Structure 1
Amino acid sequence: MTHPSPAENGLRNRPPLAAAYMVASAFLLIAMDGLVKWLADDRGYHVTQIAFLRYFICLFMALAMAKISSGGMGSLKTRRLKGHLWRSVCNLVTMLTFYVALMLIPLPNAVAIGLAAPIFMTILSIPMLGEKVSFGRWIAVAGGFVGILLIVRPEGGIIEWGSLSALVSAVFWAFTLVSSRQLSSSEQTHTILFYYALTVVFVLGIAMFWFWRTPPLEDALLFIAIGIAGTFGQFCLNQAFRYGQVSMLAPLDYTGLVWAVAIGYVVWGDFPTPIMLAGSGIVVACCIYIMRSGKKE
């Protein structure tokens, strides 16, 4: 099976722009995660309501983006409905399992375990995107998994449910990121956002009959902030994969750990253990190697 080149499928090779979008996405999504943890853990809202309201807001923002785009509302038409559905399912599982993790473990821990996603991305980029991974990068991937083990089991004990939930989220996040790259070959960013938001609102809207709780004004503002940060974070993410390769962008996702540690410490007084920091360092070092070797190939 052959795969189209970036020139053939419409993707553009602009690494600096892709890197800027990826870093912006990491910051916005971690800021959103902090707000989610606050509403779920501190304010007691169910994760399904948080997810529903996030993408209810996202749906209208995607429609607004389509309205002002060059193609207008007609840009929402697609011939890749199955691709959108696959991405939506992966992202929905990613979101709900990660939100559960945020309820059960500290923010830095959940984000650190999520560092596994770029490792899986590098692996998935081979069969799904036709990208090449050298032997050296395979060694780095193996080293990354060693670091992941240290992160998931920082005290050497039994893995807790929150950590398992975060790891499941990381696997499906990798599928989501790779599918974003696939869809970006022909779909506009706001089109990808629209179909995902529509799927989430439809599926989780049914659950609102059991989990809805009317928020007061201060909480409503936090929900709006989550929707805005999440939408622009997803927008930047899709733009990053429009302009750069998965294996090159993967390491930049780790910048989110810096923001997670800062937010977790300032808001909840949480700080990673030395073993978890060591594991994170191993993973980051391996991914830096993956990034640098990818540029040389």
Structure 2
Amino acid sequence: MSEQSLPRANPALAAALTLAASAFAAGTTLLAKALGTGALGPELHPLQISHGRFLFAFLGFATAAMIIRPTITRPNWGLHIGRSTLGWGGVTLMFAAATFIPLSDATAISFLNPVVGMLLAIPFLGEKIGPWRWGSAALAFTGAMVLTRPGAGALEFGAFLALGAACAMGGELIFIKKLTGRERPFQILLINNAIGLAIATVAAAFVWQMPTLQQWAALAGIGLLMASAQTCFINAMRLADASFVSPFFYTSLSFAALYDALVFSVLPDAISWLGAGIILCAAAVLVWREARIR
């Protein structure tokens, strides 16, 4: 790609796109909670909800592909399958967690995925981790343990589902990092959602039940919101440094708490604020350190 074809840096637009991506991503979890808790009809299984996410996201990207007609160049199918499998697992676990715990808790625990990705980069990418990164990782996991609320029954179970989602999405980051150096962003998103749809279809077949019209609308909303979030975030990353963009994505915690309060009248308690605050501090340390390294 020539220098002339590269987009000019635009931090203000990058920040706006990242805030939009945060609002869209939190919206998907809100709709998943509504579907999984019976707020929109009979409860849907998380496997069926994640199927709707991939179905409608793929339809969105496929429609865009028919319009812009991108050139698909030598996909690395092994990396795509690995990335899509972990992405599907992470999304499904996240949607399941949202039915048990407040959205703010599930979102805060999901912020562990960059830390998991950082730790996995040691054996898989050969990266070296210094004391600052190790310290931020320990701090983030401490926050996650606070949010598990040991002995709290359903809250504890939901927190561990969210922790599993963070681990799966952290593993996905390793595949994404390898793919982004080889293929264009739109090609990665299109293939990812196609493979994810295939996996989700097989899994959902075991728990399928016919959704109501309201539920179909919510499933479509999840897929289209996720596609919008991915598109906004990728374009934000092209317009500014990752160290500048990343902190804005943490506002998804605020959006999740706001949605939960408005729709389900669920307000974060002291433990939620404490655990989320610890994780956000760890994330801030990582962002600051990465900026210093650059």
Scaled by the length of structure 1, the TM-score of the pair is 0.82
1:3 maps to what in 2? Answer: none
Q: CA RMSD in A?
A: 3.1
Residue of structure 2 in register with 1:276 after alignment: 272
Q: Deviations over 1:168-189 (max 9, x none)?
A: 1001111223432332223222
Q: Is the 8 A contact 1:105 1:163 kept in 2?
A: yes
From 256, 259, 264, the counterpart of 1:263: 259
Match of 2:177 in 1: 181
Q: CA deviation at 1:78?
A: 2.9
User: After superposition, what is the alpha-carbon deviation per residue over 1:240-292, rounded to whole angstroms, capped at 9, x for unaligned?
Assistant: 55566767655444221111111111111212221221121122123222212
The AA in structure 2 aligned to 1:258 is S
2:7 is the counterpart of 1:40: no
Q: Which amino acid aligns with 1:180?
A: I
Alignment of 1:12-161 (within 5 A): 16=11, 20-42=16-38, 43=41, 44-69=43-68, 72-73=69-70, 75-125=71-121, 134-153=130-149, 160-161=156-157
2:15·2:248 contact (CA, 8 Å) conserved in 1?
Answer: yes
Cα contact 2:139–2:282 (8 A) shared by 1: yes
Give the structure 1 partner of residue 215 of structure 2: 219
Which letter does structure 2 place at the counterpart of 1:281? Answer: G
Please tell me the residue identity of whatever aligns with 2:50. Answer: A
Distance 1:140 1:216, change over 3 A: closer
Distance in 1, Cα, partners of 2:93 & 2:273: 23
Distance 1:291 1:89 in 2: 27
For residue 196 of structure 1, report the CA deviation from its aligned partner. Answer: 1.9
Query: How has the CA–CA distance of structure 1 residues 270 and 80 changed in structure 2, closer, same or farther, with 3 Å as cutoff?
Result: same
The match for 1:170 among 166, 169, 183 is: 166
1:206 aligns with 2:202: yes
Q: For residues 287 and 77 of structure 1, what CA distance do their matches in structure 2 show?
A: 35
Please say which of residues 77-86 and 214-223 is displaced more in the overlay.
214-223
Q: 2:171 and 2:180 mapped to 1: Cα distance? A: 14
Q: CA deviation at 1:131?
A: 6.2
Give the direction of change, closer, same or farther, for the CA distance of 1:190–1:142 in structure 2 (3 Å limit): same
Matched, 1:232 2:236: no
Count of aligned pairs between the two proteins: 285
Distance 1:67 1:127 in 2: 39
Query: What is the Cα deviation at residue 207 of structure 1?
Result: 4.0
Contact 2:108 2:253 in 1 (8 A): yes
Pairwise CA distance, 1:125: 4.8
Counterpart-to-counterpart distance in 2, 1:160 and 1:146: 15
SS at match of 1:64: helix
2-structure distance, mates of 1:234, 1:241: 11
Question: AA paired with 1:291?
Answer: V
Q: Is the Cα contact below 8 Å between 1:111 and 1:257 reproduced in 2?
A: yes
Letter in 1 for 2:167: V
SS, match of residue 104 in structure 1: coil
The runs of 5 or more residues in structure 1 that have no matched partner are 1-6
Cα distance change of structure 1 residues 179 and 11 upon mapping to structure 2, 3 Å threshold:
farther
Task: Give the match's secondary structure for 2:251.
Answer: helix
Cα distance, 1:20 vs. partner? 4.8
| TM-score, with length taken from structure 2 | 0.83
What fraction of aligned residue pairs are identical, expressed as a percent? 26
SS in 1 for 2:99: helix
Q: Is the 8 A contact 2:90 2:166 kept in 1?
A: yes
Larger displacement relative to structure 2 (260-269 or 174-183): 174-183
Check whether the contact 1:178–1:246 (CA below 8 A) recurs between aligned residues: no
Cα distance in structure 1, aligned partners of 2:287 and 2:204 = 42
- 1:294 and 2:290 matched: yes
